A and B are shown apart, each in its own frame.
Chain A
């Protein structure tokens, strides 16, 4: 199977759709049309490629890691999305959406953020394109990611706290959607992951496809073949779909790693929130539960609908790790490779570290989706 366009009703298999208030339906449809046109336009593609190269620093390298390979007992490759401008893969999607918003004549970007990486990336793109920018962030996350809040403000964005519900990422999304309902004529909602109503899960994956395309050809150069396993952390799941898209048509095993306190796929209950039908943490009455994770970026109770589809069809599998394993993996990479990872990709590394026996003799490609500077203060407290 390939990761292709969604069906006409915005579905990946049984998942996805456009579950938004009637007010937003024309905006979603207009966005779908505009994206389809732009994505088919050589001019748009060239503009975006130039931005990714000259502004964001693409292509990101792949690093062959000798010391951690020795430590784990199998060959480890890292796709270095941490080296992108703003420090994570998020910039790929944001530059794409900002360019598209500008093409659609929108003057204002609205975004949600959890760890703050997507907020910083959106604020960056807004500054670059001279657009207004409002970022919603859960009050709890504002407290634990102060540095990113300051970065967003420095970049000219307004950071508004989400004060209702669990006051984390899911509530920031609610606030962003409420803003969009009220300002839909001038605003583009710059959603940060492969979730939300159609066309977002598809569009955001396409903007991250560059990760997989680069990684596939880099692996051909380095290995002369594809890796045995491709792994990435999954909250909403954008970096994972980005790298999976390069290997879904190969024999590589695809493994998404969720935090144990989230694990929407592992629990396997379908539900509808934030515009799409997917797996969702919820109680027996359909009330959405709060995900719990050491990493604010994975603190999301759902998962992108295409991941639900990949899980249901068995093309990808989804594993979970606990916070303790993540903290160990975070330190392991720092000490063996001189790379401080973000807590999010440290989840995938934690799974790799736990599964040494299974992975023995294999080649594993990990999408290192972001750098750990933003987590330094939090980890200083955890590690004492």
Chain B
């Protein structure tokens, strides 16, 4: 058995038990060179990788990821193609896909989960599927032993936060700020607050995403959280034409910042 089959939650818990912080880079699937970028990110020390499946109406995403999303979509890439390409990728850390609910709904919940299972993609992140609407999907994911990763937002009430932390699998995706994905100049106050609220009530890994754009911000938030998700800063490297090399370089900078702190 490889790490890739082991699941995100177990893998991250081992990282945490070893006294390290978790780093989960996000790469837009279907974007030119994305498979190489995933491999580069894995080699540079990612603990798991989140692969975006582009959707026509990504309401949780800011300009950077929207731009990569539009470019990938205009190349005609399909969700199944991305899943199949990732399936054959030789990467030995757990993987997740991030997309929007209609992609899964149209694919068929059971069929989507089964395809991910075959492709050895462990986790699924659906930012427009809140816990109160997630029952059918969670059942389908559970059946295939896929990890349905849920969100905790700065606005989430304490009562609801407990449910999110109980129901999520893989990790708690703690939203760092009120807003959409994208790098910001400063780490938002809300990032540490939501991380700390989650840490108080769960033993599951708590990772902060949205608004983590620099290694310093990653290190800062990870003083409270178990690590972070980095998306737009890496996708910007792809948009700038830096390719896998630039992605790998930036991931290793995040890795060092998390390890040295």
Q: How far is the CA of A185 from the CA of B179 in the complex (A)?
A: 11
Complex contact A273–B107 (CB within 8 A): no
Residue of B59, B105, B127 with most partner-chain A CB within 10 A: B59
Within 8 A of A (CB), among B66-96: 66, 70, 73, 78-80
A sample of 27 cross-chain residue pairs with beta-carbon separation below 8 angstroms, ordered by A number, consists of A17-B133, A18-B132, A18-B133, A19-B128, A20-B59, A20-B128, A21-B151, A21-B153, A22-B150, A22-B156, A22-B164, A23-B178, A25-B132, A26-B160, A164-B66, A165-B70, A171-B57, A178-B59, A181-B59, A181-B179, A272-B105, A273-B57, A285-B78, A286-B55, A286-B79, A286-B102, A286-B107
Shortest Cβ distance from B28 into chain A, in angstroms? 14
Shortest Cβ distance from B169 into chain A, in angstroms? 16
Residues of B within 8 A of A288 (CB): 56-57, 102
Complex contact B59–A183 (CB within 8 A): no
B129 contacts partner chain A, Cβ-Cβ < 8 Å: yes
Complex contact A19–B178 (CB within 8 A): no
Given A23-B154, A26-B156, residue A174 in contact with residue B59 (CB < 8 A): yes
Q: How far is the CA of A182 from the CA of B160 in the complex (A)?
A: 20
Query: What 5 A-B pairs come out closest when comparing CB atoms?
Result: A286-B106, A182-B179, A23-B153, A22-B151, A287-B56
Shortest Cβ distance from B207 into chain A, in angstroms? 15
From B130, B154, B157, give the contact of A18 (CB < 8 A).
B130
B257 contacts partner chain A, Cβ-Cβ < 8 Å: no
Q: How far is the CA of A274 from the CA of B154 in the complex (A)?
A: 21
A363 contacts partner chain B, Cβ-Cβ < 8 Å: no
Shortest Cβ distance from A280 into chain B, in angstroms? 7
A170 contacts partner chain B, Cβ-Cβ < 8 Å: yes
Residues of B within 8 A of A331 (CB): none
Complex contact B178–A282 (CB within 8 A): no
Instruction: Provide the main secondary structure of the chain A interface.
Output: mixed
From A22, A171, A177, A289, give the contact of B175 (CB < 8 A).
A22
From B56, B106, B180, give the contact of A178 (CB < 8 A).
B180
Within 8 A of B (CB), among A242-301: 270-275, 277, 280, 282, 284-289
Complex contact B105–A271 (CB within 8 A): yes
Complex contact A271–B153 (CB within 8 A): no
Residues of A within 8 A of B156 (CB): 22-23, 25-26
Q: How far is the CA of A164 from the CA of B63 in the complex (A)?
A: 9
Within 8 A of B (CB), among A168-210: 170-171, 174, 177-178, 181-185
A99 contacts partner chain B, Cβ-Cβ < 8 Å: no
Residue on A nearest B70 in the bound complex, by CB: A164
Shortest Cβ distance from B34 into chain A, in angstroms? 17
Residue of A18, A21, A270 with most partner-chain B CB within 10 A: A21
Complex contact A271–B102 (CB within 8 A): yes
B119 contacts partner chain A, Cβ-Cβ < 8 Å: no
Residues of A within 8 A of B106 (CB): 271, 282, 284-286
A27 contacts partner chain B, Cβ-Cβ < 8 Å: yes
B14 contacts partner chain A, Cβ-Cβ < 8 Å: no
Shortest Cβ distance from B79 into chain A, in angstroms? 6
B155 contacts partner chain A, Cβ-Cβ < 8 Å: yes
B246 contacts partner chain A, Cβ-Cβ < 8 Å: no
B152 contacts partner chain A, Cβ-Cβ < 8 Å: yes
Residues of A within 8 A of B178 (CB): 23, 181-185
Shortest Cβ distance from B140 into chain A, in angstroms? 15
Residues of A within 8 A of B58 (CB): 174
Q: How far is the CA of A289 from the CA of B106 in the complex (A)?
A: 13
From B66, B107, B155, give the contact of A184 (CB < 8 A).
B155
Residues of A within 8 A of B44 (CB): none
Residues of A within 8 A of B175 (CB): 21-23
Residues of B within 8 A of A275 (CB): 128
B239 contacts partner chain A, Cβ-Cβ < 8 Å: no
B60 contacts partner chain A, Cβ-Cβ < 8 Å: yes
Residues of A within 8 A of B60 (CB): 21, 178, 181
Complex contact A273–B130 (CB within 8 A): no
Shortest Cβ distance from B235 into chain A, in angstroms? 15
Complex contact B102–A272 (CB within 8 A): yes
Complex contact A272–B128 (CB within 8 A): yes
Shortest Cβ distance from A92 into chain B, in angstroms? 27
Per-residue CB contact flags for chain A residues 8-33 toward chain B (1 = under 8 Å, else 0) read 01000000011111111111000000
Complex contact A21–B102 (CB within 8 A): no
Residues of A within 8 A of B154 (CB): 23
Complex contact B155–A174 (CB within 8 A): no
Q: How far is the CA of A18 from the CA of B160 in the complex (A)?
A: 15
Residues of A within 8 A of B55 (CB): 286-287
Residue on B nearest A164 in the bound complex, by CB: B66
Q: How far is the CA of A286 from the CA of B73 in the complex (A)?
A: 12
Q: How far is the CA of A52 from the CA of B70 in the complex (A)?
A: 43
Residue of B57, B156, B179, B180 with most partner-chain A CB within 10 A: B57
Q: How far is the CA of A181 from the CA of B130 in the complex (A)?
A: 14
Given A21-B60, A274-B57, residue A287 in contact with residue B73 (CB < 8 A): yes
Residue of A17, A23, A280 with most partner-chain B CB within 10 A: A23
Shortest Cβ distance from B26 into chain A, in angstroms? 16
B103 contacts partner chain A, Cβ-Cβ < 8 Å: yes
Q: How far is the CA of A21 from the CA of B59 in the complex (A)?
A: 8
Residue on A nearest B160 in the bound complex, by CB: A25
Complex contact B102–A282 (CB within 8 A): yes
Residue on A nearest B180 in the bound complex, by CB: A178
B131 contacts partner chain A, Cβ-Cβ < 8 Å: yes
B3 contacts partner chain A, Cβ-Cβ < 8 Å: no
Q: How far is the CA of A277 from the CA of B132 in the complex (A)?
A: 14
Residues of B within 8 A of A284 (CB): 106
Residues of B within 8 A of A285 (CB): 78-80, 103, 106-107
Residues of A within 8 A of B152 (CB): 22
Residue on B nearest A176 in the bound complex, by CB: B59
Complex contact A19–B101 (CB within 8 A): yes
Q: How far is the CA of A13 from the CA of B101 in the complex (A)?
A: 20
Shortest Cβ distance from B100 into chain A, in angstroms? 8
Q: How far is the CA of A154 from the CA of B102 in the complex (A)?
A: 39
